[in-house]
């Protein structure tokens, strides 16, 4: 603990490691109170937001997602992480980079802006945990990650929708067609990629492995985790979590809710088992706060983000022992 700093540690903490005393109900709302900075030297993970919802096909509002996830994360920085029993920031250097600035009135610039945003961060050697924004943002993020880590990547995709509906317009902004484009462009390898929680129909899933929501409910979270691990192996993998993977009871604040989804407990169990995966990048998308007055959805997203950081902390510690 950096006990010499109390309050507003996102601005006042001198190190990117450790935690400081904060009132959970006050202070600067960075993700889990991490330093707000764009200095990337020595940083392990960069948290940033991409506040876009121009690509939605139903309800808008995801542009407000990054701010809501940050606000919901305050209580997660108060105690050691559960069920891990440690403060991930004692070992993992994490910063909040702020948001990618988008010229939303000039939409044809948006995709390349997101690519450049990611390129600059990845060039430092840091990994990215990105908050959307609608799910379209994953497409330019995949482009930057494939440049950095080599194509094709494996994709671990949590969602109610497969997002592989046909779209051969290179300029379209559509949050239901990104992975059609990603497969066509060789950004992801369908044979080593998996989509979890799917419960909408598509005539062509383009060869990606589907673990639909009924299968998860029938076989359980642990069997789902084991199946994911068997599919992706140790290949460089990008993890994207559309919050509508969760049932609307657990995530009402999203643009395209679908009944019959995963519970928060099921999702967290699976996420907490991701340590064997070679995670090169991660995002959490489609949190739309206007449809959730109780912040249930943002809280679920914040928990998923916090657990992903704990997974990366354990990976860093394990690599150091090798």
Give yes or no for residue 321 having a pLDDT over 90: no
Residue 40 has pLDDT above 70, yes or no: yes
Whether the per-residue pLDDT at 3 is higher than 60: the answer is no
Q: How confident is the model at residue 154 (pLDDT cuts 50, 70, 90)?
A: very high
Among 8-22, 127-141, 147-161, 214-228, the least confident range: 8-22
Q: What is the mean pLDDT of residues 12-20?
A: 91
Closest CA to 51 of 39, 62, 40: 62
pLDDT computed for residue 174 by the predictor: 95
pLDDT digits over 237-292, tens only?
999 999 999 999 999 999 999 999 999 999 999 999 999 999 999 999 999 999 99
How far lies 76's CA from each of 71, 95, 127, 154, 227, in Å? 10, 15, 21, 30, 29
Segment 282-303, tens digit of pLDDT: 999 999 999 999 999 999 999 9
Q: What is the mean pLDDT of residues 85-95?
A: 97
The string of DSSP codes covering 185-197 is: TTSB-GGG-EEEE
Predicted confidence at residue 5, as pLDDT, reads: 79
Question: What is the model's pTM?
Answer: 0.96
Residue 233: the pLDDT is: 97
Per-residue H/E/C for 270-314: HHHCCCCCEEEEEEEECCCHHHCCCCHHHHHHHHHHHHHHHHHHH
Instruction: Give tens-digit pLDDT for 164-208.
Output: 999 999 999 999 999 999 999 999 999 999 999 999 999 999 999
Query: What domains appear along the chain, each with residue ranges and CATH number?
Result: 9-321 (3.40.800.10)
């Amino acid at each position: 603990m950096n006990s010499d700093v109390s309050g507003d540690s996102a601005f006042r903490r001198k190190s990117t490691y450790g935690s400081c005393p904060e009132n959970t109900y006050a202070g600067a709302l960075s993700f889990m109170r991490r330093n707000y900075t764009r200095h990337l030297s020595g940083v392990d993970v960069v948290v940033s937001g991409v506040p876009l919802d121009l690509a939605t096909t139903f309800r808008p509002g995801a542009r407000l997602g990054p701010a809501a996830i940050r606000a919901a994360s305050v209580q997660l920085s108060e105690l050691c992480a559960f069920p891990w029993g440690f403060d991930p920031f004692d070992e993992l250097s994490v910063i909040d980079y702020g948001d990618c600035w988008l010229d939303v009135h000039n939409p044809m610039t948006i995709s390349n802006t997101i690519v450049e945003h990611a390129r600059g961060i990845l060039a430092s050697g840091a990994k990215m945990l990105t908050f959307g924004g609608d799910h379209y943002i994953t497409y330019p993020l995949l482009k930057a990650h494939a440049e950095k880590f080599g194509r094709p990547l494996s994709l671990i995709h949590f969602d109610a929708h497969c997002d592989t509906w046909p779209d051969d317009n290179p300029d379209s902004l559509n949050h239901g067609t990104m992975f059609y484009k990603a497969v066509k462009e060789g950004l992801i390898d369908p044979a080593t990629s998996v989509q979890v929680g799917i419960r909408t129909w598509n005539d062509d899933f383009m060869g990606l492995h589907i673990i639909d929501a009924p299968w998860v409910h029938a076989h359980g979270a642990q069997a789902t985790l084991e199946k994911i691990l068997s599919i992706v192996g140790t290949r460089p993998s990008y993890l994207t979590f559309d919050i509508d993977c969760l049932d609307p009871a657990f995530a009402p604040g999203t643009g395209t809710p679908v009944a019959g989804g995963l519970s928060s407990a099921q999702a967290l169990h699976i996420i907490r088992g991701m340590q064997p995966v070679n995670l090169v990048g991660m995002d959490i998308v489609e949190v739309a706060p206007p449809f959730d007055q109780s912040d249930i959805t943002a809280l679920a997203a914040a928990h998923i983000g916090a657990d992903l950081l704990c997974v990366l902390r354990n990976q860093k510690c394990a690599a150091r022992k090798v």
